[in-house]
Amino acid sequence: MRYLTKHLPRRLPYFLAGLGALTLVVLAFRPAPIPVDLGEVERGELQVTVDAEGKTRVQDRFVVAAPVAGRLDRIDLDEGDPVEQGKVVARIDPLPLDTQVREAQARLRELQAEIAGVETQRPKPAALIQSEARIRAAEAERQATEAEVEKAEAALQQARRDRIRAQDLETTGAISRQRREEAELLETSRTRELKTIQRQLEGAIAEVAAAREELSILQAEQRDPDYLVDAYRAQIAAVEAELTNLADEASRTEIQAPVTGYVLRVLQESARFVAAGDPLIELGDPSDLELVIDVLSTDAVKVQPGASILVEHWGGETTLMAEVRYVEPAAFTEVSALGVEEQRVNIIGDFVDPSVPLGDGYRIEARIVVWRDDDVLKAPVSALFRCGEGQCVFVAENGRAHQREVVIGRRNEFEVVIKQGLETGEQVILHPTEQIEAGRRIGPR
């Protein structure tokens, strides 16, 4: 004891030096804290968006096309020029149409003359009247001859009875032979008279038939040119329709603006021949813009009419607000920059404030809000990693990392809704690497 008391002050510095060296060795071989980036769990607003590029477009665009084929005069309008509804914006030379109109009119007069010529081919009404009178005269002659035949038949029958009676009387001696012969001669005469009148009746009947045949021929000749008249009338109707169409086209050689607006594009500026339907100029109102945003079809099903649109990177510093008007019902195929075919759908939106400093065809970047909540517990999405079948985060507590399983909800590119597992104000490690383990010392980067 006396020895320690005597020598302790002299050896104390060596003891402290050794203790310090041991401490330095322990500290040198102890694992150093891993520098990490930390994010805070907080309550606030979170919105889920569909991000895509788009462009502005004049909502009501009118393409003025050539209504007829012809030589177009030079268009004097320039892009941006104002036009009023009804103003002449282009002219097509009407000379070819005027020539066609005169040709059609000449064909019409020719066809009308042909119809008039057809009428001269018909039998005259006097010939029909004469034929009908002949029929009536023949009928009267036939009837009179028939009466003569009946009279001759009666006379023959009487003569025959007289002959028979005379023969009987001669046999009994009541009359002479001469009287019998006279009776026989009378019968023969009456027979010849009947035959003559019958031949006359046959001639009268033939005359009636001939007169009727003549009338039917005249009536047929009266109807024969009808098919020519019908053919000429059909051709006249076609020429009249052609004239109506040509007159309408001639009236449209001065092309008028359908609406009041501005010239967006002049598609045919120089004089040249154009076909009917060729576009000439585009008209519209640049202040009446809409948004056209094409998104993947899998994202389009999430978008509803009325959803908010945040318009960014349009050339200004502020964010412009817009609203979804409708989602087009049909998708289209587009090849991505990586050569992959994608089905995309156009989302059409309107600016909340129509007085935006943009024009037709301007490029924009849009964020379409498909979900939003103003008060949720949220954490940075970069803090998540898979653990088993769920999601986990590393929470920073007392300079060490502690693994914790969480239940998440909606998420966007940067933040995620935390339903269970974290509290407000806690700090989580962002982008955790394989070096970070539960209980491992960490330090803010």
Structure confidence at residue 298 (pLDDT) = 93
Q: What is the DSSP string of 291-325?
A: EEEEEEHHHHTT--TT-EEEEE-SSSSSPEEEEEE
Q: Are strands 363-380 and 308-312 parallel, antiparallel or unpaired?
A: antiparallel
Q: Give yes or no: residues 126 and 219 share one domain.
A: yes
Structure confidence at residue 272 (pLDDT) = 84
Q: Give yes or no: residues 153 and 237 share one domain.
A: no
Show the domain range for 166. 122-224
In a domain, 385, yes or no: yes
Three-state secondary-structure class, residue 217: helix
Structure confidence at residue 96 (pLDDT) = 59
Q: Give yes or no: residues 137 and 192 share one domain.
A: yes
Radius of gyration, CA atoms only, the chain: 59
In a domain, 27, yes or no: no
Q: The domain spanning residue 381 has which CATH number?
A: 2.40.420.20
pLDDT in tens, the chain (445 residues): 555 455 555 556 666 666 766 666 554 555 678 888 899 999 999 999 999 999 999 888 888 888 877 778 888 888 888 888 888 888 877 555 566 667 777 777 777 777 766 666 555 676 667 777 888 888 888 888 888 888 888 888 888 888 888 888 888 877 778 888 888 888 888 888 888 888 888 888 888 888 787 767 666 656 556 666 677 677 878 877 777 776 666 666 778 888 888 888 888 888 888 888 889 998 988 888 899 999 999 999 999 999 999 999 888 888 999 999 999 999 999 988 888 999 999 999 999 988 888 888 899 999 999 999 999 999 999 999 998 889 999 999 888 889 999 999 999 889 999 999 999 999 999 999 888 888 888 888 7
In a domain, 330, yes or no: yes
Q: Are strands 442-444 and 34-40 parallel, antiparallel or unpaired?
A: parallel
In a domain, 267, yes or no: yes
Predicted TM-score of the model (pTM): 0.57
In a domain, 243, yes or no: yes
Q: Give yes or no: residues 394 and 320 share one domain.
A: no
Q: Which of 340, 373, 406 is the last residue of a domain?
A: 373
Rounded distance, CA 422 to CA 12, Å?
52
Q: Give yes or no: residues 126 and 110 share one domain.
A: no
CB within 8 Å of 28: residues ≥ 6 apart: none
C-alpha closest to that of 54 among 311, 246, 333: 311
Q: Give yes or no: residues 300 and 369 share one domain.
A: yes
CB within 8 Å of 242: residues ≥ 6 apart: 104
Q: Considering its fold, how many domains does the chain have in total? A: 5
In a domain, 1, yes or no: no
Q: Give yes or no: residues 304 and 432 share one domain.
A: no
C-alpha closest to that of 350 among 326, 315, 318: 326
Three-state secondary-structure class, residue 69: coil
